[in-house]
A and B are shown apart, each in its own frame.
Chain A
Amino acid sequence: MATNISTARNPYATSFGTKVLNSLKNLLPTAVATLILLTIWQLLCSLPGATLPGPIQVVEETWPLIIDPFYRGDGTDQGLFWQLAASLQRVAVGYSLAAVAGVALGVLVGVSTLMFRALDPIFQVLRTVPPLAWLPISLAALKDSQPAAIFVIFITAIWPIIINTGVGVQNIPQDYNNVAKVLKLSKMKYFTKVLIPSTVPYIFTGLRIAIGLSWLAIVAAEMLTGGVGIGFFIWDAYNSGIVSEVILAIIYVGLVGLLLDKIICFIADRVVPAD
């Protein structure tokens, strides 16, 4: 605290210094809250008869995993980095496919009233199906756990992308459409100069929701399909009775999810045109 105050009073403080100070100020409440939560967790788990390990015990028990994420063993015995990488790879494939198909379908239902009437009710029904409910069907159809897991990601991620893109296209301001009509803009020009620029903010809202859902779905899907991946790692740890590893994995899952969200936000900020 003493250093903080002295920095604040320093008349020669650089703007960089002020920035660091500000972000420290913002982080402080988070740090305090985390500390309190950890304390409560530790206290609760120190009670007699506690079934779960406390934070200190978790760190002690999983120390090898923490310090060596790049460990390579046989089969599913891999470091946490590789587990996460395997999961991320599946997400990347499924999500990319969903993004391409979702934007295309969204534009289609947005542009054509007929297509909207035909397809929107179907989308509305399908999007309520929980991701894991697709797994048996995809396993039955694709006969392999790897493509089945990717399909689950795809089918989970595609709905918010379609729906948001569709809404975005439908919400292109009438003014812009009128300009396009009066100028008789060609289809291609309308698409690149009007439709896409004005729909991009909606598309990114969809993409952001979709990335969150994909990450949720992959953990669940991997628990069932097995193989290398953070989902199966959790399941495996549970079956081996090592709850500390489960907890560590959950923390990693949360952090990676947050990171994915931030990445999409970062891209959106670069791509979405400023008004």
Chain B
Amino acid sequence: MSAFVVIDHIDQVFPLANGGAYIALKNISLEIKKGEFVTLLGHSGCGKSTLLNIIAGLARPTAGGILLEGRQVTEPGPDRMVVFQNYSLLPWLTVRQNIALAVDEVMSHLPASERSEIVEHHIDMVKLRPAAEKRPGQLSGGMKQRVSIARALSIKPKVLLLDEPFGALDALTRSGLQDQLMQIAQQNQLTCIMVTHDVDEALLLSDRIVMLTNGPESYIGQIIDVPFARPRERLKVVNHPNYYALRSEISYFLNQQKKAKQRKTQVVAIARNGLEKVNLELGFMPLTDCASLVVAHEMGMFKKYGLEEVTLSREPSWKAISEGVVSKRLDAAQMVAGMPLGLTVGMGGRAPIPVVTSLVLSRNGNAITFSKRLFEAGVRNLADFKAMLTAEAGAQPRTLASVHPASMHNLIMRYWLASGGIDPDHDVNLTVIPPPQMVATLKAGNIDGFCVGEPWNAHAVSEGLGFVIANDLELWAGHPEKVLGMREDWANQYPETHLALVKALMEAAEYCDDRRNRGEIAELLAKPNYVGAKLDYIRAGFLDPYDRGDGRPPETLLRFNQFHIDMTNCPNRGEALWILTQLARWGIAPFPKNWVDVLDRVRRMDVYGAAARALEMPDTAPNRGSFALFDGTVFNPDDPLGYLDSLAIKQEIQIQEIDLDGAVSKTAVAA
């Protein structure tokens, strides 16, 4: 069904007196169907009323827009009538005159007798006949709100906007009016958007509840579908078996947000260049996709943003990187995409250590390479491999390697195997090997294949040791691959340094995606202190056509290494949630019950946005919504648990509430 109201990537920024800006809303997108009742829920100050005013046309968004039946909303109009929180009746007009003012203006094409009929009908609808000649000053709050509702309905708006309509009323009046509104909305098939902070009210009235996170930079944290059949009755709704589950889910969300609100950042002394720290030790792995770090270092982007003494530390393994950052040996590091999330939720049974990422360094760039021996045995695709495993049942299982449990290599290869009916934990043997050792291990025959980033696939292919059975453009084009990771306490301690680092790396990333620069970058990467591999291996896929080693001619893959274009750098939360589900699916980490909060803290969209704006780059984020990988299984970010339930091959899922602040204090004691 096509959308009736489209809220399209709304940003709302208010200028501050000190010259700064307050970002109230960030990247809000929502589609509302005709006849739907949608509630915006959140703590006060989360921007829900601002959003309603934007829909009404009373405020203009800084970016994005509203479509009503395909037409852009540019100004207020009676097709989007508002029921205001404080009634907004004109005190010098009687009840009848207030309603007539609206009807006469909006329906001026009708004859006077018809208009007065409409007025009288709506006076009766809200049962205000005895008060028709009274002025608002003589009415109670509940009566005033009834007049306001009657006035709104009398002009037959396409969308009814309600701004905390019952907030100021006593409980008894409120429930009476809720029932009345529900009835009227149902009878007239009204499309309603209501702002409230009352959970029960939201559940009773709405078809969908859209929950906003706290400002600044509020976004849609979660959307809940309310399944109760219509017409509804208060008692039946309350006694519905799902009612308390939904209610507690919403309350849980609100409580998480309340906790987040109470956190505060400390102020730190400035060292130099307006930064708290100018000497940084950054970890990286010898891989083609460390390019933006190398470029930022070699081409002066770090210095440009005041980071005078950056040391790039070439690390032996991803494990070393994760330990380096946790132990504070490294200030920050290139990390596999799942590492900050894995560390934050307590991967592998360890205590949670909040680690944040505010920048995705690269997307794509991986491939699954199988050994030449399998190629010779006739394996060309996943189905062949499955057949082989079935034939070999009972024998020593085949061994495949990836680079880290929380890496996309591991998660995507497991996902790929499972999509072909292969249980990665039973049908094959999975092991972890650092990238630079992959080729040697394959050569020694200890493994039958691996999933790794370049140049190590190209190396294996060119030596005739293996062939690329799948690359990630085929599996999930544009998936997040490497991210910038650092401890949350580091990020809080050095906010300006953090921002400078992100700015430098974003500018470097932009440089990396200009293909004119790639020849020069490949030469830099080939140096022994960076990747230390043959130039040809690095150029494969990065610049030169990509040879899969299966006899097909090499193909040019323009997006094989993606550093900047198409919102590469945006640490958006939907894909991070997918990673969380996969970590839980394979028993690598528990699934956090407070995932909205975990994502909010790990994926620092605010720092990314601030850096992008400072560089005058768009700070847009991808659409918040469902997506699917190559096999077409839809991932809905509003229902991660339902998604996990739907997967056939998985381990037992653990769901835990992750106490991020407790974790901080514990590690602090340990240190």
Spell out A's residues near B (CB within 8 Å): 173, 175-176, 178-179, 181-186, 189, 193-194, 197-198, 273-275
Complex Cα–Cα for A200 and B218 (A): 41
Within 8 A of A (CB), among B29-88: 56-58, 75-78, 80-82, 84, 86-88
User: Contacts A175-B86, A176-B88 known; A183 to B105 CB distance under 8 Å?
Assistant: yes
Check if A182 sits within 8 Å of B101, measured CB to CB: no
Complex Cα–Cα for A176 and B93 (A): 12
Check if B58 sits within 8 Å of A181, measured CB to CB: yes
Interchain residue pairs with CB less than 8 A apart (8): A179-B84, A182-B76, A183-B78, A183-B105, A184-B106, A193-B93, A273-B91, A275-B91
* B110 on the A face (CB < 8 A): no
Contact with A along B85-98 (1 / 0, CB 8 A): 01110111100000
B residues less than 8 Å from A183 (CB atoms): 78, 81, 101-102, 105-106, 155
Secondary structure dominating the interface of B: loop
* B445 on the A face (CB < 8 A): no
Complex Cα–Cα for A176 and B81 (A): 14
User: Contacts A193-B93, A193-B101, A275-B137 known; A184 to B88 CB distance under 8 Å?
Assistant: no
B636 to chain A, nearest CB (A): 35
Contact with A along B109-138 (1 / 0, CB 8 A): 000000000000000000000000001010
A140 to chain B, nearest CB (A): 46
Check if A178 sits within 8 Å of B88, measured CB to CB: yes
Contact with A along B161-189 (1 / 0, CB 8 A): 00000000000000000000000000000
User: Contacts A182-B58, A183-B155, A186-B105 known; A193 to B90 CB distance under 8 Å?
Assistant: yes
Check if A184 sits within 8 Å of B76, measured CB to CB: yes
Complex Cα–Cα for A109 and B86 (A): 28
Complex Cα–Cα for A175 and B136 (A): 14
Chain B residue with the shortest CB-CB distance to A272: B92
B residues less than 8 Å from A178 (CB atoms): 56, 58, 76, 82, 84, 88
Count class of interface residues, chain B:
20 to 34
Check if B82 sits within 8 Å of A184, measured CB to CB: no
User: Contacts A178-B58, A182-B76, A182-B81 known; A274 to B90 CB distance under 8 Å?
Assistant: no
Contact check: which of A182, A184, A186, A197 meets B90 at CB < 8 Å? Answer: A197
A residues less than 8 Å from B105 (CB atoms): 183-186, 189
Check if B77 sits within 8 Å of A182, measured CB to CB: yes
B residues less than 8 Å from A198 (CB atoms): 92
B269 to chain A, nearest CB (A): 43
Spell out B's residues near A (CB within 8 Å): 56-58, 75-78, 80-82, 84, 86-88, 90-93, 101-102, 105-106, 135, 137, 155
A residues less than 8 Å from B137 (CB atoms): 274-275
Apart from A179-B90, A186-B105, A273-B91, 18 more pairs, CB < 8 Å: A173-B88, A175-B84, A175-B88, A178-B82, A178-B84, A179-B84, A181-B57, A181-B75, A181-B76, A182-B57, A183-B78, A183-B101, A183-B102, A183-B155, A184-B76, A184-B105, A185-B105, A197-B90
A274 to chain B, nearest CB (A): 7
A248 to chain B, nearest CB (A): 45
B75 to chain A, nearest CB (A): 8
B residues less than 8 Å from A179 (CB atoms): 84, 88, 90
Check if A182 sits within 8 Å of B80, measured CB to CB: yes
A166 to chain B, nearest CB (A): 21
Complex Cα–Cα for A176 and B102 (A): 12
Check if A176 sits within 8 Å of B106, measured CB to CB: no
Complex Cα–Cα for A171 and B137 (A): 19
Complex Cα–Cα for A182 and B75 (A): 8
Most chain A beta-carbon neighbours within 10 Å: one of B56, B75, B82, B105: B105
B76 to chain A, nearest CB (A): 4
Complex Cα–Cα for A52 and B80 (A): 75
Chain B residue with the shortest CB-CB distance to A186: B105
B residues less than 8 Å from A181 (CB atoms): 57-58, 75-76
Check if A184 sits within 8 Å of B91, measured CB to CB: no
Check if A194 sits within 8 Å of B58, measured CB to CB: no
A184 to chain B, nearest CB (A): 6
A residues less than 8 Å from B92 (CB atoms): 197-198, 273
Chain B residue with the shortest CB-CB distance to A197: B92
Chain A residue with the shortest CB-CB distance to B93: A193
B residues less than 8 Å from A193 (CB atoms): 90, 93, 101
User: Contacts A178-B82, A178-B88 known; A184 to B93 CB distance under 8 Å?
Assistant: no
B74 to chain A, nearest CB (A): 12
Complex Cα–Cα for A179 and B151 (A): 10
B residues less than 8 Å from A173 (CB atoms): 88
Complex Cα–Cα for A186 and B80 (A): 17
Complex Cα–Cα for A275 and B135 (A): 8
A264 to chain B, nearest CB (A): 20
A89 to chain B, nearest CB (A): 34
Check if B93 sits within 8 Å of A182, measured CB to CB: no
B residues less than 8 Å from A176 (CB atoms): 88, 90
User: Contacts A274-B137, A275-B137 known; A182 to B82 CB distance under 8 Å?
Assistant: yes
B230 to chain A, nearest CB (A): 28
Check if B90 sits within 8 Å of A194, measured CB to CB: yes
